[in-house]
Structure 1
Amino acid sequence: MHFPFPESAPRRALWLAGLCLSPCLHAAPLGLQDEIVSAPSVESTTVAEMARYGSRLEVIERERIERAGPSADVTRVLQMYVPGLFVAPKNGPFDYGTYSLLGGRNDDTLILLDGVRLNNRLYGGLYLDTLPTTAVERIEVLKGGQGLLFGTQAVSGVINIVTRSARSREASGEVNLGLDSFRGRSGDARVEKVLENGLGDLGLLAYVSHNRSDGYKPFREQDMTATATVSDKRRSYDVNVFGAKAIQAFGGDSRLELFYQYADANLDYARPADNRHTTNDRIQQIATATFEQHLGEDFSWFAKAHLNDWDTRYTRIYNLAGGGTRVLNHNDYWGFTDWGAQLEGKARLAGGHELVFGSDNQWYKGQDDVLIIDNDKAESHALYAQLRPQVDLLPDWHPSLGVRREEMSGGEGATVWMLTSLYDLTDQLKLRGQLGTAFKLPNAEQLFVNEPGSEIGNRDLKPERSRNAELGLDYSGALFGQPWSGSVTVFRREISDLITLAGDQWVNGDGEIEVRGIEASGQWQLGEHWQLAADATRNLVDTREGVTVNNIPHFFARTRLGYDQAPWGFGVALRYVGSIVSPQGDDYGHYTVLDGDAYRYLDGARRHRLSLLLENLLDRDYATSRTSNGIRQVDNLGRPRSAELRYTFSF
């Protein structure tokens, strides 16, 4: 079975509208307050509830997101604030990046936007490079293997990006204008209002954003070939986004939520060899429709439909050594469409036990003018259930146990299980742990890619499987009379059937890989206005039978000191990254970066504000990843010293 999807642009737009107006789609408890139509929805509560049963959760609130700079994308926010998560944007804002959560690889972390999967099943990978932060209310990072509720690729954790909702009954919003030292300009605006109608409260929100910059030169001069065009040595970007959300409440027990976002981006693709002009011209559309309902105190359910449509036109023009140019690609198309439907219920049973159960169904379709994939369609279907028992003899113990079965067309399915536990040792000290399995299904490229003269795809690939264990201790109390909290987590992951390239074909690697490590973090309120935060992560990788994983930092740490006293504040942050080894055996780590930020309100009503971000204050030359210039491997350089200034008007 394949879900029908219109090919033409007009019909596609009508199909999107039909999706958003579908009457039966997503649910969770709803509690309306006087000035808010959107109580926490199921996208966030599904993630946040796991922290009550032993999973480690980090939340980045809106206040910290705003301090990440005017051209901040989600990648930069994650880089600045999440303990245990290593992030290295390849060539600055709005670009692909390297991610490692609790020793995981780039695609071991599942990315969600309001509960919608952004990791694509046809090509794999993470696609965050066109997501602005103006529409983001908070980011929730759930650590450890989470395949039970979220499926494939949730091997080392889940990042859920929660979009903003209307909260005020008066028309309100804000306007932001920004500049950066690379001739970058940014601007965004948001407006919202909660209305009353015959059905209940209706919350409306809309936003637009624009980010444009010439960017910086991401390669050292000596690493670039003589044929690279001088004018195209920088990596520029131009990203424009429009989005809207509507939430209609029906009394106090149910609601319908509709969301749509349109992104139009022109992204320069920097290359160190022969490059004259390489760009990705992209349009991405994301739409969701959600209906949720609370049937009394003992049962709630939701139904959800989503669409993630991505269209890229790829152009690559090279200079020839003897003069002239060569067009390798001219508006070549590649893109994908993911769409799906999810149904989930939560029941409170006799004795206070909770049961969560659901069905998750997704369909995928792709096209690539360059990469030949014999089967560019796929679908997956999953059933899952989780029991959260109430143990009367141990009222301070909060366990859960669940199982998930997922099948994928064209490949082998997988079954995973998960056991979690949170024990309140005291009011301040909590012991948590989780044990289970996770999986990564092969994507369509790995199964079916078939380049001329070779068969890279392998239809016999098995799912990659892992056994995961995390054990942690959390404390919140006082140190020298001031609030203090700390956390430590040890983790271990055993990976079998690793999906990897062996020569020119995708295969399941022999043997087993063990990833283990420790993460520690703490926050301390130093007096009334000062705050200190620090975290450190150590990763160890043991390989057998010659298979291995790469691009995982062996050690990284961050510390941040901040001062806040209305109407102004500032902060400085230091991050250190130790050894990182590429697949070619190059160690491109060992660097320290110092950042700073400050803000000041210009009026007593706090409607006018100036914000400043200073990145890489010491102008450190460091590598975010490695690439080839046709002769040898060279560094992709991180952003040099830069400054960004933003003015905000709130109304």
Structure 2
Amino acid sequence: MKKSLIAGAIACAFTPAFAEEVSTFDLGTVVVTPSRHAEPLTQTLQSTTVIAREDIEGAGQQTLPELLQTKGGVEIGVNGGPGQVSSIFIRGANSGHTVVLVDGVRLDNITSGTTALEHIPLTQIERIEILRGPGSSLYGADAIGGVIQIFTRRPVGSGFDASLGVGSDQMGRASLGLWQRWGGTQLNLRLAHESVNAPSATNDRATTWVYNADRDPYRNTSLNAALRHDVDARTSLGLTVFAAEGVAHFDAGTPGDALKKERVQSVSAYSRKRLTDDWASLLRLAQGVDDYRWINVNYAPVTSTQDQLTWQNDITLGRGARLTAGVEYVAQKLSSGTPYDRTRRHIASGFAIYRLDTGPHAMQLSLRHDENSQFGGHTTGGIGYGYRVSPAWRVTANLGTAFHAPTFDQLYYPNSANPDLKPEKSTGEEIAVHYAEAGREVSLTGFANRIRDLIAFDQKVKKPTCPWGCPVNVARARTQGVELAASLPLASQWRAVARATIQEAVNADSGRRLARRAEYYGSLGLNWKSGPWQVGAEVVGSGDRFDSINEDPSSHLPGYGFLNLRAAYAIDRTLTLAGRWDNVFDRTYELVKGYPARGSTVFVELRYLPR
């Protein structure tokens, strides 16, 4: 890589920018995403970051994509302010190369292949697990860059909490959570609403037929409910519902006010059963829905539905060995005003994950086969190894394959689709060194990913289903880089947290950089806690990018850096007053050409939570 790239990443890593987060080595943290089984974060073999509820509360009026942006290995693109279309890039992979789960349920839209993260409110989230690297052998199609799993809030016992916040641009946010336990039955209910009179989603760099200088308000209403009944010490039954509806004004060059109303929703019923002391089983029936409608603009509505069945078994084999195995079935259905050539397909899958811990050694093997009714079968695998050199030092290495299934738009959209498309495939590897001792935690990870059969549009290829050009499997991509994560105590009440990524994400055929991917980015944070006070600062920075596939100079997006400040004061054991000032110096920058990121904003919130 170029010297300037390395120098820039080092500068990004050691410039003050600060976000408190659960460390990769936090002894009290348990995760499930890296192996589909609950295990201490200290024992995971793949690079995993956890964002805890405390970090989410400190995020203030930030959106979910903005929160993810501060965590290493994740870049974002946002078409303007709150509620506008967002995309994420993990380790330089495409926006459709990440699986997003909400309480284990897929919520991606099958036409675009991405998840509407912009409509999932932070007030509903308990924690987030980010798995970086190939994950298809665990979760199937689309996990080329990684997996993001979101867990909604579900306190145990009986009580209630509430919050009320106001901020810049007439920002308002309110939430109310209620939970009650009767014997072996637990009920949770949470309602939330927020609105903001955001500035224009576009600027004069946008195409002339799009730009409109008016304001583009956004509002979001969400519901999270869960009912669990413990039949006995070995059996529990549950029902969960999550739904969020966002209404975003946007610029479409029309005289009237264009709006997009989108609803993301998941419903699941499950049974957890411990069949023996060494065998636990999960059976879950779920449905994920993404539905959007347009107002004052002539676009067709789309409803994406995925019915999902999972049967997973966790078996303890003894002598440090464990087997996780199961089957999954997904039925995808599309309903739209656009006459797609096909509107249904299904995927049947089987998977197995073997884990062995013996002495200082740890190993994980994973294998999965997905049989897609559209393009046939695809098998992926992964192998991970870890060695604890000493109580403080550990090294890990991983190798895995992954794939991305073509979307319904690429396969069946009228006059521009190619039903003969194959899946995009990848091979990725990483090697990491971890250190954790006396509250000091550092990890350094090198990664590489080679993606082939990338789908690109070619005007020269013509078929009856795409008479003016077709999407075809012609391109290749290569991503490689280094990630740094550190959490260090500076004094008894101070802690610094740093994350930085140096990467090269390019088209392997042309050598040109992939769109919206920077060569370096990261954050550095400083946190102070004393008595009832918590204070923090973070600087988030990124190098330049191009919003095109050919490094067109007119699409150049300059690098940026901005400072955020936050503070919280515990008035008593139940009441907290918190505030956040984002982009303190009102830096102007773009994540997408013609769509300005938010300027300086302030948010203040009062939270009631019984302890």
Instruction: Decide: shared fold, TM above 0.5.
Output: yes
Deviation at 1:44, TM superposition (A): 8.9
The amino acid of 1:185's aligned partner reads G
Q: Quick one: distance in 2 between partners of 1:178 and 1:44? A: 35
Shift of 1:275: 5.1
Q: After superposition, give the CA deviation of every residue in 1:392-446 in whole Å (9 maximum; x if it has no partner).
A: xxx2111011211111112233111110111111111111111021111112211
Q: Which amino acid aligns with 2:36?
A: T
1:223-256 alpha-carbon deviations (Å, 9 max, x no partner): 58599665xx222111111221111112222211
1:579-638 deviation digits (Å, cap 9, x = unpaired): 2122252221311111111111223xx222211111111111100112xxxxxxxx2110
Report the equivalent of 1:54.
Answer: 45
Q: What is the Cα deviation at residue 104 of structure 1?
A: 1.6
Q: Is 2:515 the counterpart of 1:550?
A: yes
> Given residue 248 of structure 2, which amino acid in structure 1 is its aligned partner?
L
Do residues 638 (structure 1) and 594 (structure 2) align?
A: no
Give how far 1:508 is off. Answer: 0.1
Q: Secondary structure at the match of 2:66?
A: helix
Does the C-alpha gap of structure 1 residues 495 and 57 become closer, same or farther in structure 2, counting only changes over 3 Å?
A: same
Alignment partner, residue 462 of structure 1: 422
Deviations 1:254-306 (A, max 9, x none): 211211123233211234x4553111123333101111112233111111111
Answering whether residue 202 of structure 2 is matched by residue 219 of structure 1, we say yes
Q: Give the corresponding residue for 1:89.
A: 78
Query: 1:305 & 1:589 partners in 2: Cα distance?
Result: 46
Question: Matched residue of 2:67: which SS?
Answer: helix
Question: How many angstroms does 1:129 deviate by?
Answer: 1.8
Q: Is the 8 Å Cα contact of residues 353 and 366 (structure 2) preserved in structure 1?
A: yes
Displacement of 1:222 after TM fit?
Answer: 7.1
Distance 1:45 1:190, change over 3 A: farther
Which of 482, 493, 498 does residue 518 from structure 1 map onto? 482
Q: After superposition, where does 1:198-213 map in structure 2 within 5 Å?
A: 201-213=184-196
Q: What secondary structure is seen at the aligned counterpart in 1 of 2:376?
A: coil
State the percentage of identical aligned residues: 23
* Separation in structure 1 between the aligned mates of residue 332 and residue 68 of structure 2, nearest angstrom: 28
Residue 303 of structure 1 aligns with which residue? 283
1:505 equivalent in alignment to 2:491 = no
Q: Which residue of 2 aligns with 1:191?
A: 178
Give matches, 1:17-416, under 5 Å: 46=36, 49=39, 52-69=43-60, 71-80=61-70, 82-168=71-157, 171-196=158-183, 201-220=184-203, 225=208, 233-271=214-252, 273-274=253-254, 276-317=256-297, 328-329=298-299, 332-349=300-317, 351-369=319-337, 371-391=338-358, 395-416=359-380
Distance 2:119 2:585 in 1: 28
**Cα distance, 1:156–1:227 mapped onto 2, change above 3 Å:** closer
Amino acid at match of 1:300: A
Change (3 A) 1:643 1:489: same
> What does 1:528-567 correspond to in 2, within 5 Å?
528-546=492-510, 549-567=514-532
- Are the aligned partners of 1:47 and 1:140 in contact in 2 as well (CA < 8 Å)? no
Alignment-derived partner of residue 607 in structure 2: 648
Of 463, 472, 477, the match for 2:432 = 472
- Structure 1 41/193 Cα, relative in aligned 2: closer, same or farther at 3 Å? farther
8 Å CA contact 1:301, 1:344 repeated in 2? yes
How much has 1:541 moved relative to structure 2?
2.8
Q: Which amino acid aligns with 1:476?
A: A
RMSD of aligned residue pairs (Cα, Å): 2.3
AA aligned to 1:599 is: A
**TM-score, L = length of structure 2:** 0.88
DSSP 3-state at the match of 1:46: coil
Residue 58 of structure 1, CA deviation = 0.8
**Residue 406 of structure 2, aligned match among 413, 432, 442:** 442
1:66 to partner: Cα distance: 0.5
Match of 1:612 among 568, 579, 584: 579
Residues 543 and 465 (structure 1), Cα distance of their counterparts in 2 relative to 1, 3 Å cut: same
How far is the alpha carbon of 1:74 from its aligned partner?
2.2
The 8 Å contact of residues 225 and 274 in structure 1, kept in 2 or not, is answered as no
Query: What SS does the aligned partner of 1:134 have?
Result: helix
| 2-structure distance, mates of 1:616, 1:266 | 25
Cα–Cα, structure 1 residues 202 and 289, in superposed 2: closer, same or farther, change >3 Å?
same
Per-residue CA deviations over 1:203-231 (Å, capped at 9, x if unaligned) read 1110100111111223335758599665x
Given that 1:155 and 1:440 are in contact with CA atoms closer than 8 Å, whether structure 2 keeps it comes out as yes
Q: Does 1:594 align with 2:553?
A: no
Q: Which amino acid aligns with 1:643?
A: V
> Larger relative contact order (C-alpha < 8 A, sep ≥ 6)?
2
What one-letter code is carried by the residue in structure 1 that aligns with 2:132? K
